[in-house]
Amino acid sequence: MKKTIFVATALIFSTGALFSGSLNNYVDGVTFSIGQSKDKIDIYRLGLRKDFDSKWAESKVGYFSGYYELSANYWKWKDESNFGVALSPVFAYYLNFGDFKPYLEAGIGVSFWQKTHIKRRNMSTHFHFEDRVGVGARYKNFDFSFRYMHYSNAGIKNPNPGIDIFIGSISYKF
């Protein structure tokens, strides 16, 4: 497990650095997430985030914006495991309460997995969509969120059982 987390962390940071040699231009935060699927698969995620540079429909109440997230994902069930990487644009509506900003979020991204099986489940393909809806709050440089995530190949190949996940995250913005 420790080796996998180390490899995942190295992969995330080296991938971000490849974009231009200057990580600060493309990454403004890091994320750690932990959760579980509905059928007891343990989920661990390490991610790099970059906030959108714009806001839409800004008012006294709040505004729309979002972020990109590149993540390394580790799934564990008994003696089985799977490793994947994902990239997702996430859209959010942030409420204005000074330094405290609660929000709702949703996004659809893509992921690629090392194996096509976990917990005796045939996922059929290495490629999956990563769907999410969640709630969270930003306070100064910290972001706390709880979300529901779903992974499936959208019927590209059968069987397509999908995996449903509930996950909590903490992020730090540089």
Give the active site residues. 150, 152, 164
**Upstream peptide bond of 89 is cis (omega within 30 degrees of 0):** no
From the centroid of its chain, how far is CA 99? 23
* Residues 147, 165: Cα–Cα separation, whole Å: 8
Please give the C-alpha separations between residue 130 and each of 84, 140, 170, in angstroms, as whole numbers. Answer: 11, 28, 19
Neighbours of 33 (CB within 10 A): 22
